[in-house]
Amino acid sequence: MMIEKSAGFELLELEKLRQVLRTPGPCITVLLPPYHPGEPAESAATRLKGDLQEAVRVLTEQGFSKDATRNFLEPLEQLDKDPSSKAGSRWGRAIFRSPDVFAQFHLEQPVKPSLTVAGCFAIRQLLPELWIPRVFYLLGISKKSLELLRCTPEGAEPVALPKGMPASIEDALELEPPDHDLENRSAAGSSTGAMHALRFGTGGGREKEDAYRAHFFKLVDHGLKAVLHGQVPLILAGVEEDIAAYRALSTYRGLVKKSLHGNPMLLLKEAGAIASAAAFLRDEELEREEKALEDSRERVAANRLSTSAQDIVRAAFDGRVYELFLAENAEAIEICETPGYTAWGKEDLFNLAAVQTTIHGGKAFELPKGAGAVGIMRY
């Protein structure tokens, strides 16, 4: 049954990818980076034209007739002629074509242009797209004001602060004074009967300021939990002193380690602020993946861990690979020897392992460091 999604673009998500990956070959994968008119890079239409010529050559070598090749590539030919392919786009694009599938998706994460004709779709460059959160919040924080933005690939929009959450130190002190105000009281005179209390300070102005700020930030941290619901990533924007103070007392588990530094109200208006914040999510996800690999090497039994491309592929086809870690520069260009798979000549076995791992509900990651591949087996 044809999976037809060419009429519109949607973001690539895990379940959508699993759906298209189940198709038999031949599979054509075209990856196109973003394009802005006036840049020296080629437009999508220009890249597509070159990719189509190469696809014709490969299919001909595989024994496809002219008519079969023309019919197979016809949807891609139509894309090449589409005026939108000549226009600019801030999105990358993944295009999938097989006998049963013609689909294209927007890509939020950067990709290098490529064409692959093989027995399965090429997804290694797309793996970061699957695991980085699509929604995050950006909090501009200072003693005098707050601003909260909800950020998605489509853009950012302001979010109203929850009812009862203060927007400044002054609001916080009016709503709920601190447990102590750094002032002690003493009775005046020799008797404590009905004497008036005298106030005396126990700290300097700086200590009071720090205490009031901490009180304010605690109320903010508590109030945000009603908006963020769980572990949606939260990125801070502000001067270093305020960010450090907020981190010291925050109990929110989704607080991202990196922050935007500077005047928060100016930062949130900068065109590149959202992109910079999104890059923090990529860095944090990469750190999690590297830690997961390190933990697996230390804790997983040796018979559940493999670095052999052929062994990993066979296990992936059997649905035994729980996690697959691929070094970005790792290659295993060979003919797949797994029974039941129709090979289209030599292809990237690590990509094939990533495809089968994804189909069977495992997780595949690509890391910029390291060498080769590590497959963690379920059993």
Tens of pLDDT, residue by residue over 127-151, are 999 999 999 999 999 988 899 999 9
Instruction: Please say whether the beta carbons of 227 and 157 come within 8 A.
Output: no
Determine the pLDDT at residue 308: 94
The domain boundary, picked from 219, 254, 283, lies at: 283
Statement: residue 345 has pLDDT above 90: no
Statement: residue 217 has pLDDT above 50: yes
CA dist 157 and 1 (Å) reads 40
Same domain, 77 and 113: yes
Residue 289 domain-assigned (yes or no): no
Helical (H) or strand (E) element with 291: helix 273-299
Same domain, 169 and 259: yes
Same domain, 140 and 268: yes
CATH of residue 244: 3.30.420
CATH of residue 107: 3.30.960.10
Determine the pLDDT at residue 225: 85
CA dist 343 and 335 (Å) reads 7
CA dist 78 and 59 (Å) reads 18
The domain boundary, picked from 131, 155, 183, lies at: 131
- The rounded percent of the chain whose pLDDT value lies above 70 is 87
Residue 169 domain-assigned (yes or no): yes
Q: Tokens at residue 311, please?
A: 């062994």
**What are the pLDDT digits (tens) for 222-272?**
999 888 887 899 999 999 999 999 999 999 999 999 999 999 988 888 878
Residue 238 Ramachandran class (φ > 0 left, ψ -120 to 50 alpha, else beta): left
Same domain, 78 and 163: no
Same domain, 103 and 117: yes
Same domain, 254 and 310: no
State which residues form the domain around 82.
1-131
Same domain, 164 and 192: yes
Task: Report which of residues 171 and 4 the model is more confident about.
Answer: 171
Statement: residue 4 has pLDDT above 70: no
Statement: residue 179 has pLDDT above 80: no
Determine the pLDDT at residue 370: 82
Statement: residue 8 has pLDDT above 70: no
Half-sphere CA count of 214, side-chain side, radius 13 A: 13
Task: Report which of residues 363 and 345 the model is more confident about.
Answer: 363
Same domain, 104 and 29: yes
Task: Report which of residues 216 and 4 the model is more confident about.
Answer: 216
Average pLDDT over residues 214-221: 91
CA dist 33 and 288 (Å) reads 26
Question: Considering the chain, what is the average pLDDT of its residues?
Answer: 86
Residue 341 domain-assigned (yes or no): yes
**What are the pLDDT digits (tens) for 50-106?**
999 999 999 999 899 999 999 999 999 888 777 766 666 778 899 999 999 999 999
Same domain, 273 and 340: no
Residue 199 domain-assigned (yes or no): yes
Same domain, 173 and 272: yes
Residue 72 domain-assigned (yes or no): yes
Question: Residue 38's pLDDT band (boundaries 50, 70, 90)?
Answer: low
Same domain, 142 and 269: yes
The domain boundary, picked from 131, 166, 181, lies at: 131
Strand boundaries in the chain, DSSP class E: 3-4, 27-32, 92-97, 101-107, 114-118, 136-141, 146-152, 155-159, 183-187, 197-201, 234-238, 260-261, 305-306, 321-327, 333-334, 347-348, 363-367, 373-377
Half-sphere CA count of 259, side-chain side, radius 13 A: 20
Residue 115 domain-assigned (yes or no): yes
**What are the pLDDT digits (tens) for 114-131?**
999 999 999 999 999 999
Same domain, 94 and 154: no
Lowest mean pLDDT, pick from 7-21, 90-104, 346-360: 7-21
